[in-house]
Structure 1
Amino acid sequence: MDASTFFTTPNAERYLGSLCKHFGHKVPVTHQPSFGRIELPFGQCVLCADGNGLLLTVEAPDRPQLDQTAEVISSHLDRFAFRENPDLTWTVANGTKA
């Protein structure tokens, strides 16, 4: 299963880097300019930054793990981007809200 959200921000690349650096101390992470992948034990997150913002896509084998992955990523982004107060709405691939 997968779900995605978009955070409109001029600081997308910085937040992508902060998330990858933070999680890189704990789990496998891939970080390249404008792209990152965080592999949590219960799911993974792919991050893509551009001039408009940050696209986050989480993947997991089932709905509880998908929700957990989205929550972990969201809570960390909330901390890193607290000045911008991200209000993320995750949409599951079938169109429902996570």
Structure 2
Amino acid sequence: MTTRHGTMATDRPERYAKQLAGHWARKGSAGEEDGATVIRFDSGQVVVLRAEAGLLRIEATVPEGGDADRFAQVVKDHLERFGTREELDVVWS
């Protein structure tokens, strides 16, 4: 498994975690685990979203052999599109 870690500054991190989970729930499962929103795709990818004060922490994981950079870009594109009015920016480390 390969994981990319990122952050997104926002005053509403819970809202964006919930919105992404709802959007992708049909592609696998989505729910709360240990205080985080976790999206598990049938194809093996996993997104973990942790809401903190003013920040959304993001983990994007792909199975061995998967393209972590491409999957991270898809996650980024979706979150930034959901928050267009706030001009959100996901920053991967």
2:8/2:91 contact within 8 Å kept: no
Question: Quick check: which one's strand share is greater?
Answer: 2
Q: 2-side partners of 1:59 and 1:81: how far apart?
A: 22
1:45/1:57 contact within 8 Å kept: yes
Q: 2-side partners of 1:53 and 1:34: how far apart?
A: 14
Question: Greater CA deviation, 13-22 or 31-40?
Answer: 31-40
Q: Which amino acid aligns with 2:46?
A: Q
Q: Percent identity?
A: 26
Change beyond 3 A, Cα 1:26–1:43: closer
TM-superposition CA deviations, 1:50-92 (whole Å, max 9, x none): 212100011123475212221221111011111122222212x
Q: Which runs of 5+ in 1 are unaligned?
A: 92-98
Q: Which runs of 5+ in 2 are unaligned?
A: none
Counterpart among 64, 78, 81 of residue 79 in structure 1: 81
Which residue in the other structure is 2:55 paired with?
A: 53
Q: 2-side partners of 1:42 and 1:89: how far apart?
A: 23
**Which TM-score applies when normalising by structure 1?**
0.78
| Structure 1 residue 8 displacement after superposition | 1.0
**Which TM-score applies when normalising by structure 2?**
0.82
Q: Which amino acid aligns with 2:61?
A: E
2:31/2:38 contact within 8 Å kept: yes
Q: Per the alignment, in what secondary structure is the counterpart of residue 86 of structure 2?
A: coil
TM-superposition CA deviations, 1:2-29 (whole Å, max 9, x none): 1111111111010011011111122211
